[in-house]
Chain A
Amino acid sequence: MKSIIHRQPKLCRVEDKRVNMTEPIQVFNVCLWCCRYKPPSTESNPTLEDPTPDYMNLLGMIFSMCGLMLKLKWCAWIAVYCSFISFANSRSSEDTKQMMSSFM
């Protein structure tokens, strides 16, 4: 990310608005400064993020452990459901491997 310059120039053709139709169109080659997209950092505003996938992931793990240790079938089923809900609500930036492991 450091290699990407935040503000970069870009050449654009700008047509000036004509007051009179008789006047010729004035075209300018304007160098406009474009700012690059910076994804909002999650550390600065954790409250704005949706916590659902993380909670569901945790619940799923807890239920799967319960189901395994106490041999309760319904716990295991709820764990499966939790992992599905977590997957549906997850952000695309998250690792697919992590999500697959959560399914396990």
Chain B
Amino acid sequence: MQRAYLLLIPALLLLLALPVSRGRYNDDFDDGEDLADFDDNDFAEFEDMNDDPAAEAETAPPPRASPSSQPEEDEDEDEATVELEDGLDGFEDSETQDQDMYSKYDQEEFEGIGDMEKTGHSMKDPLIIHTVPAHLQNSWESYYMEILMVTGLLAYIMNYIIGKNKNSRLAQAWFNSHRELLESNFALVGDDGTSKEAVSTGKLNQENEHIYNLWCSGRLCCEGMLIQLKFVKRQDLLNVLARMMRPACDQVVCINQISHRSQIKVTLNEEDMDTFVFALGTKKVMARHQKELQDLSEFCGDKPKSGAKYGLPDSLAILSEMGEVTDGMMDNKMVHYITNHAEKIESIHFSDQFSGPKVMQEEGQPLKLPDTKKTLLFTFIVPGMGNTSPKDMDALLPLMNMVIYSIDKVKKLRLNREGKLKADRNRARVEENFLKQTHAQRQEAAQTRREEKKRAEKERIMNEEDPERQRRLEEASQRREQKKIEKKQMKMKQIKVKAM
């Protein structure tokens, strides 16, 4: 009886272990291989135990003669062995069981297990996704800077071509409308200065894309007339944009040079232009010219006077050397011309002492008075304020008539005696002032020249190889110096005597 109870206890223990093992490893029933592998080695002890209690259970109960427990025990034992073996298989081989588990999961139980596996991997090795830099991409967006620049350049080139053509058309229109007038008044119309013979080219000289020149010559008392068409820079886009801020206009500048000597035998001794300085123009321009131009600043000291006194519009001012000149110039026809075209006139400047703007030199005053020429300068504004059309050029024709009339008028204008004296005195005064200012500099220059001469002479003496000649030259130079010193002494004596 006691041996039977002892056998029952392990049987009961085994029965308790069964549900635990079945709960975990139910799916291992399919693998029969494992069971076969591990049957002999690993589960030997368990098998002995199974056999012993099974055997003892079989032997023990029969004496008790409880038939119900026997088949139960037998069943239990059978189940236990099967179960155990399965359960033991699960315990022993964990890795293979894992694989089996996952594959079994893929197929039967879980649908999204594959993703889980992958994310499982990504969690182990995090992937860093880089963005492809812009310059490696092959798309339009990466080149937007270049496209912008090229578009800008194309716009500039377009503007250049359009502007150049417009300026050229304007110049041609001007020339066509003025050609007849010029050809009837001048023998030589259009000269570029390169041909040997004085032949009229009949064409404008293109100096720039916006500046055109025309040289006319061959007229009585006029050395030549240079007409400059100074257009607005239509070919430069920057200038076009700047003009939108600050309007500018085309200009026609006529520079007439009056000759110094007469050309016809009849008027042999008469000069072609008397000595006077006269200017007329808009107030702003007059103020500017008075500061900038040499002759106006020196001879016309007074502020610009209003032209209303002579019947001119208020917008115009007059700078003149003397009142007589203004009276002489402003005759009826001239006043008529100016009043009718006042908006087109920027400035009119007649001068026998014209030398251009004041020259500013860093070293001080220039040693010589600048060259002066007898000049008539006309600056006209083309109507249209930048938006000129070729038709506007015809409006300038009467102004050209005025130019030619002025040339003749200046030739005829003669100052009376008083005026002439005054003019001469003015010119002498200006020259004196200039000489005073440059006195020191001129002295220095003269001194250096004298020293140079002496040095050159001494060198010449030294270079003479013949001793005889050398001696003679030295004596000659000594005598010369002696003479100079004597002369100076004489002068000093004379001055002293005069002073006394």
Contacts and interface: CB of A to CB of B under 8 A. Distances in A.
Contact of A84 (B153, B191, B193, B357): B153
Interface string A17-59: 0000000000000001111111100000101100000000000
Contacts of A4: 193-196
Contact of B218 (A33, A80, A88): A33
Q: How large is the interface on B (under 10, 10 to 19, 20 to 34, 35 or more residues)?
A: 35 or more
Given A4-B193, A45-B356, A36 B207 contact: no
A79 B479 CA distance: 70
Contacts of A34: 187-188, 198, 217-218, 224
Contacts of B156: 81, 84, 88
Given A33-B263, A36-B191, A10 B218 contact: yes
Interface string B214-225: 010111100110
Given A10-B188, A35-B224, A81 B236 contact: no
Contact of B187 (A10, A80, A92): A10
Contacts of A10: 187-188, 198, 218
A73 interface: yes
Nearest to B145: A73
B235 A88 contact: yes
Contacts of A77: 149
Interface in B193-238: 193-198, 205-209, 215, 217-220, 223-224, 226, 233, 235-238
B152 interface: yes
Contacts of A48: 357
Contact of B207 (A3, A47, A91): A91
Contacts of B207: 91-93
Contact of A92 (B206, B223, B238, B356): B206
A88 B240 CA distance: 12
A85 interface: yes
B233 A89 contact: yes
A33 B218 CA distance: 6
A25 to B, nearest CB: 15
* Most chain A Cβ neighbours within 10 Å, of B153, B160, B218, B226: B218
B192 interface: yes
Interface in A62-104: 73, 77, 80-81, 84-85, 88-93
B187 A12 contact: yes
A102 to B, nearest CB: 15
A22 to B, nearest CB: 24
Given A8-B198, A85-B238, A88-B235, A35 B223 contact: yes
Contacts of B217: 34-37
A12 B217 CA distance: 12
B196 A3 contact: yes
Contact of B197 (A8, A32, A80, A85): A8
Nearest to B196: A4
A1 B156 CA distance: 38
13 contacts: A32-B187, A34-B217, A35-B217, A36-B191, A36-B193, A36-B198, A37-B226, A39-B193, A84-B157, A88-B156, A89-B233, A92-B208, A93-B207
The 3 closest A-B pairs by CB, nearest first: A37-B215, A37-B193, A34-B218
Interface of A: 1, 3-4, 8, 10, 12, 32-39, 45, 47-48, 73, 77, 80-81, 84-85, 88-93
Given A1-B193, A35-B224, A45-B357, 12 more contacts: A4-B196, A8-B197, A10-B187, A34-B198, A34-B217, A35-B217, A35-B223, A80-B149, A81-B156, A84-B153, A84-B156, A92-B207
